[in-house]
Amino acid sequence: MKVALGQFAVARDWQTNAETCLALMARAHEASVDLLVLPEGILARDIADPDLVLKAAQPLDGPFVTQLLAASKGQALTVMMSVHTPASEGRVWNVLIAIRDGKILAEYRKLHLYDAFSMQESKNVTPGNEIPPLVDVAGFKVGLMTCYDIRFPELARRLVLDGAEVLVLPAAWVKGPLKEAHWEVLVTARALENTTYVVAVGECGERNIGNSMVVDPLGVAIARAAEAPALVFAELDKTRLRHARQVLPVLENRCFGTPQLRSDK
């Protein structure tokens, strides 16, 4: 499977971001990519206005997603990204969507909200309460995660036990002391401990680190971006996946059962 990591800095207005996404989709299609992954929260961003997620949120049948769906018609390219959609009581969902050929294939509402390092995502966002689905892309089973989810090994392990061979992670990883090190360690650990590919795509720009990367099932970074906008490509190989799971059979050797959501989720 050929994947592309579409790293960019999210603008304040959705029209600009839609144009950026459409351009990345066109380039990915031209390059015969199977899966394009974009960052988290790509409708709108303004570090001076954290409540913009409320004002900019759109339903999935709104103009932003509708434009992307129209552009995807007739194509085999699968695109994954996170957007904010209206929820009840003046709040929003952080929803990861997968689209292909004019349709939404899957939706995942972010489980773990980023209430850490002096930030509080839960101020505006309602958490999800369901395990993400798997999406079939070019013969691979792909599991869905969003940003802060990477710090919780139970979700990655659950998705892999459900059959995931690739974990996709749109993110907006905030800059700060040691944060780039955290990102690299966590993305690598989730790949290695589960013998799976991880495709992690971060927003770049004034607030976030970028540093998108693909890590293979034995913990090797096979593609990565720096701090600037980029479109990076990587090839995911079933032979490499089978080899990793043969020489490092952690999934067979584990002593713990399948992780489940807490009853209060």
Mean predicted lDDT score pLDDT of the chain:
97
Indicate whether 265 pLDDT > 80: no
What average pLDDT does this structure show over 41-60?
A: 93
For residue 142, pLDDT beyond 90: yes
Give the catalytic positions in this structure: 40, 110, 147
Binned at pLDDT 50, 70 and 90, residue 89 comes out as confident
Tell me the per-residue pLDDT of 117-140, one tens digit each, with 9 for 90 and over. 999 999 999 999 999 999 999 999
Measured CA distances, 134 to 107, 160, 215, 250 (Å) = 10, 10, 19, 21
Q: Averaged over 174-194, what is the pLDDT? A: 98
Q: How far apart, in whole angstroms, are the C-alpha atoms of residue 259 and residue 198? A: 19
Identify the sign of the CA torsion 234, 95, 135, 168: positive
| Confidence label for 50 from pLDDT (cuts 50, 70 and 90) | confident
Q: Classify burial at 180, counting beta carbons within 10 Å of its beta carbon; exposed 0-12, middle 13-18, buried 19 or more.
A: middle
Distance (Å, rounded) from C-alpha 265 to C-alpha 261? 7
Tell me the pLDDT band of 70, cut-offs 50, 70 and 90.
very high
Among 10-19, 40-49, 189-198, name the one with the lowest average pLDDT. 40-49
**Looking at the predicted structure, is the pLDDT value of residue 164 above 70?**
yes
The residue behind tokens 């699968």 is 78
Q: Give the mean model confidence (pLDDT) for residues 98-121.
A: 97
Range from 27-36, 42-51, 54-63, 161-170 carrying the lowest mean pLDDT: 42-51
Domains and CATH numbers, the chain: 2-247 (3.60.110.10)
Interval 186-209: pLDDT, tens: 999 999 999 999 999 999 999 999
Read off the pLDDT of each residue in 166-179 and give the average, rounded to a whole number. 97
